[in-house]
Structure 1
C-alpha cells in the first residue's frame, strides 16, 4: 500500500512531506508566546497580508453580483441538506448570481455543484488549515488564503447577501459576523437567510428568550434574520433586497442630479 505524504495548501502553494509545518500562518500570527521574535516578524507579515488582499481583490473584482453560501463541510453527499445546497446553487445561478463558498466539501460543495451544473459562476475561497481540505471539484474560480480575516473580507465585499445552510462553528462564526456588520450598518441592504427551520429554530428561540428578553439586542434586530425551508423563498429574499438596493441608489443619484440642476 502506497504511503500518503502529508500535504498542506499555503496560499497559492502546496507543500508536502517534511516541508509541511506543524503550525499554520494564522496560528503563528496569533500566538504571542515564546521569544520576542514576533516584534521583528509581524511588520513583514503585513506585506504578506497586503498581498492576499490585493490577490483577492484582483481575482474577484469582475465577478457578477454574488451570494455567499455557508454550511457544514461534514454534510455527506445525498443528505437532505446537501440536496438543498445543490438546489440553492442552481436557483441562485438561474437568478443571475455567482455563488461563493468556502470551497470545501459538504454543503459548500453542494452549492458550488448546483451553480456549476446550472452554468453559473462557481467560486471557492479556501483557507490554510492544520488538516488538509481540498478545494471541491465544482469550483471554477478558487483562491487559497492564509488568513481567516482576509478571506472573511472577500466573503462580504463581493456578495449582496448570505445564505446559511446547517453548519458548525465556522458557519456560526460567519453568520454572527454578518449579522454584526448589518446591525452596526457597516453593510447595508444585506439580507441574511437561514435555510432549515428545524435546525435553526432552537438558536432563534434562544435569541428571543435570552438576548432580546435580556436587552442584549433590540427586538427589531430579529428582522435582520430570515428563516425558511423554501429555497425559492430564500432566493426571492435576496433578489428583492438587491432590487431595493438598486432602486435606492438610483433615487440617490437622481436626487444629486436634481440638486445640481436646481443650483445652476
Structure 2
C-alpha cells in the first residue's frame, strides 16, 4: 500500500479507487507476458485487416462536438472517400473520428475503427463495420500505416499530431513508401506550417523537401481529389 499512497500524494488528480487493482495487475506483468500481448495484438490486426487494400486513415479530435463545422467536414470527408471506393480507417472514437466513420457508412464504404484502451475517453463510436481494440499505441500505429494508402488529418490534439509526425518521420527516413499526407483546415494548420518553415526549416533541422511531404487543403472535396489522384482504389 505504500507505493499507492506515494502515488496518491504525487498525482492526486489522476488516482482513482480502481488504481490499487490496476497497480497490482501492472506489477504482476512480466516482460515475456507483455511481448506475448504485443504479438497477439499484431496478429489480430493483420488477420482482421488482411483484405483491406484501399484504406485511407482519417485523424482528428475526439473532442469535436456534433454541432461543430469540423464534425460536418469529417463526415463529408468520410462520405466522399467512401463514394470513390476507399475504406475509411479512424481511431474509432468520438468526435471527428465518429463523423468520418459515419460518413463512410453513408458513402457505402467499409468503416473501420482502431480503438485504444484509455482511462478518460469513451469507447468505440456506433458507426463501425469493423472495430478492433488495442492496448499498445505502437501496435495500433502499425495497422494505420500498413493498411492505409493515405493519411488525411483534420484539426486535433496531441494524438492527431502524434499520428501526423509519425507518418512524416517514417516517410522522411524511408522506413515506408511515400504516400499522401493531407492536412485539412487552413486556419488550424497554417500557423504550424509557418513555424515549421520559419523556425525548423530555417534553422536547418529539416530539409526543404520535408516541407513537401504534406499538402494543405481547405475542403473535403480537395482532400479526396488529392488522395484519388495519387492512389485511386485498386
What is the TM-score of this pair, normalised by structure 2? 0.87
* Largest Rg, 1 or 2: 1
8 Å contact from structure 2 (residues 73, 219) kept in 1? no
CA offset at residue 211 of structure 1? 0.7
Q: Which residue in 1 is equivalent to 2:120? A: 131
Q: Which residue in 1 is equivalent to 2:54? A: 65
Matched, 1:114 2:99: no
Please give the per-residue CA displacement for 1:11-64, whole angstroms capped at 9, x wherever unaligned.
xxxxxx969944698xx5xxxxxx8x77xx101211111011000000001124
Aligned with residue 221 of structure 1, among 180, 185, 210: 210
Q: Which residue in 1 is equivalent to 2:162? A: 173
Q: Which residue in 2 is equivalent to 1:207? A: 196
Please give the per-residue CA displacement for 1:123-157, whole angstroms capped at 9, x wherever unaligned.
00001112242200001100010111000100110
8 Å contact from structure 2 (residues 81, 107) kept in 1? no
Q: Which residue in 2 is equivalent to 1:163? A: 152
Partners of 1:92 and 1:21 lie apart in 2 by: 43
Question: For structure 2, which runs of at least 5 residues remain unmatched after alignment?
Answer: 1-16
Aligned partner of residue 131 in structure 2, secondary structure = strand
Runs of 4+ in structure 1 deviating by more than 6 angstroms, as ranges, are: 17-20
CA RMSD after TM alignment = 2.3
Please give the per-residue CA displacement for 1:89-127, whole angstroms capped at 9, x wherever unaligned.
001001110000000000000000000111110000001
8 Å contact from structure 1 (residues 189, 242) kept in 2? no
Question: For structure 1, which runs of at least 5 residues remain unmatched after alignment?
Answer: 1-16, 29-34, 247-264
What is the TM-score of this pair, normalised by structure 1? 0.78
| Change over 3 Å in CA distance of 1:21–1:200 after alignment to 2 | farther
* Alignment of structure 1 residues 1-264 onto 2, 5 Å: 21-22=21-22, 28=26, 41-242=30-231
Partners of 1:22 and 1:208 lie apart in 2 by: 44
Partners of 1:112 and 1:88 lie apart in 2 by: 9
Partners of 1:168 and 1:18 lie apart in 2 by: 27
Aligned partner of residue 62 in structure 1, secondary structure = coil
